[in-house]
Structure 1
Amino acid sequence: MSPEFIFYSFITIIILNFLKDYYLSFLNSKNFDNKIPDEVSDVYDKEKYLKSQQYKKTQYSFSKLSRIFGLLIILLFFFLDGFYFLDELCKNLFDSPVLISLCFLALIYVGNEVLSLPLSFYYTFVIEERFGFNKTTLKLFVLDKIKSWILTLLLGGTVLSFLLYQYESLGNNFWITAWIFLTLVSILLNAFYSQLIVPIFNKQTKLEDGELRSKIESYSNKVGFDLSNIFVIDGSRRSTKANAYFSGFGKQKRVTLYDTLIRKLNTNQIIAVIAHEIGHYKKNHIVYNIFFSTLQSGLMLYLLSFLLEMPVFAEALGLNTSSFHIGIICFSILFSPISELISLTFNYFSRKFEYEADEYAKKTFDGKYLVEALKILSKDSLSNLTPHPKYVWWYYSHPTLFQRISRL
């Protein structure tokens, strides 16, 4: 394969991926005005339904323009030898291959963040504000961005440094120790996410004693699930949208409820949501997800180890010698079709797991309250009740509201 052939193969993959996203989003937009199924016809009143329609169409237009903008930036970077100039800049700053790669990837990250910042600002302070979701102040928005940048550079820099040193020491056999290291990092982050990451952005407090806590503990004891760590998070600082999630393993496991969720749902509806989450634990869905994610990362590292030894890929981007950072860029493009297939598989099983967790909540508590909770949450977030089946099949990690209620 010639460098020129590989270069245009990269361009083809990027454009085909864009066209796939564009086409599926277009199909989905054609379903916006479809008749709402009877099972979910009571979610919106007339005024709320019109608002949800406007929200969906606004999101679609914004997403379409964002994708086009992103594609143009990527193509310009390719055709104007952006990778070559960035590589030369880092080589002029550093002599160490490790530092050169860290510099290169850090600049790619910073550039992406700078270009996406106006879009993120517009989405938060114009679109979300217009539809009554945004509660984020300008100060909080800036602080969140700074914190996420620092966290990404520190955590990402640490992980990349380890991978780079392993590559320098072991050559293309680096993938074995890298896989072990990434697996350990993933497990630790899953186990201690609420203790390590969440406090950087949010305030968490233990749920006060009262009816809600008593009933949650009573239900968890009934199903044999030790749940003493019940926390409330100040999600209302940023948005009116509600959520709840489980995190951690063993004694570290906890349920976190958004304060907005507690305000919008009654006690039985909240317990139904928690019963659904406990269902994921009881059915070992968390373990399965970690296991398959670990397999995926191992496969990616193994394939990457081969590509790093092929200088023709670096030549395709205008460079004379191969390097770890250029290998990652090339691999991320070449692997994207395989990644799409893996994502489809993950989404299929994720939707299956959601049905199983719903069924668990129905059997151990009451499906009626889960249906009520799902309808309220969908209404308050202006959810799309008529998504296109192909769009659901490709992108949705959860079944649609109609599908879940029909099963329940």
Structure 2
Amino acid sequence: MLIRIAMAGTLLATVPAVPAAAAEPAPGRLVSRAPLARKLWLPGTGRAYQVKYWTKDVRGRAAVSTGAVFLPKGRAPRGGWPVVSWAHGTVGVGDSCAPTRAGRSARDIKYLRRWIAQGYAIVATDYQGLGTKGVHPYGDGRTEARNVIDMVRAGRRTTAALSRKWVVIGQSQGGHAALFTASTAARYAPELDYRGAVATGAPSNIELIAPYAGPIVPDLGLDGLVTYFAYFLAGLRASHPSLRVDRYLTPAGVKAVDAAERLCYDAMHERVSGLSIGAMLARDLNVPAFSAAIRSAIEVPLDGYGAPFYVAHGVLDTDVPLPLTYKLVADLRARHRPVTFKAYPGADHSANMFASLPDTLPFVRRLLR
């Protein structure tokens, strides 16, 4: 298209028109909605949908994510079902690992059925990059938080049966995402009525330790550590190509991170059996650019918490050591944040989810009144 510029009847120039920049899709806008396959329903579900929706990626650009919406049986109360936005734990970073494709673990199904039985709708993001374009930026809390929040928006666009009132609940990787969500939800989505959060088994303060990883690090005896580390490096390699992550890896490390891009948790855990973090690394990670990237991705915010939130941790957790959470809670309390914390004796990483239910169920019930 050409635009002719004239003055006092004299043609001065003919220039090409510059097309207006296309507006980015609004976060939470639906790309598609379809009934969710019955085999993927949670017990107690009355209706369920699989959705694709717009959110943001690790660089803040518009990106598509997928997720599921579960409605309880029966008729919605006046104002709609209160919403639990579920942030799932580690499943992998490959597309085939997305819960709307692979299904959910027996542990998560057992846990989520307790929440839907309370009369809450559950919206559950797969996270951006899991089942959609790109490698999932595993452990990047800000990206996961946007995915979790935009899933609430997408759920409300899917059905009018959802209330504006919502909370976030997450376990492990999802607990980390829930904390990031809690620190930003009210600002990121002011049109919603965010009430609070529950984070179980959430990793924190990893940025204080991870930069000191290097070839001399021995096997630390923590469950799943090498698997989590490989997933994190796979996400970092894709989202921060300037780091040239492979330069820090041994041949065995490169193979492990390559495998992490496609293998889901159980297969990946078996794949790295006998491999230590030290055996993966050819160089120390304690260099400014790498340390900054780690901190930017995983450092749990200490500010922005306007609503109450509950942090639960198992004393016997060998995936995420309890002392890291003690430090987080101490830092939050020093800043007078509205955090409730309890450590559960006899509970490991997964058992903590169920041990905390007698406390978290009434906690959320009060929030959603």
Query: Normalising by structure 1, what TM-score?
Result: 0.25
Q: Which has the higher helix share?
A: 1
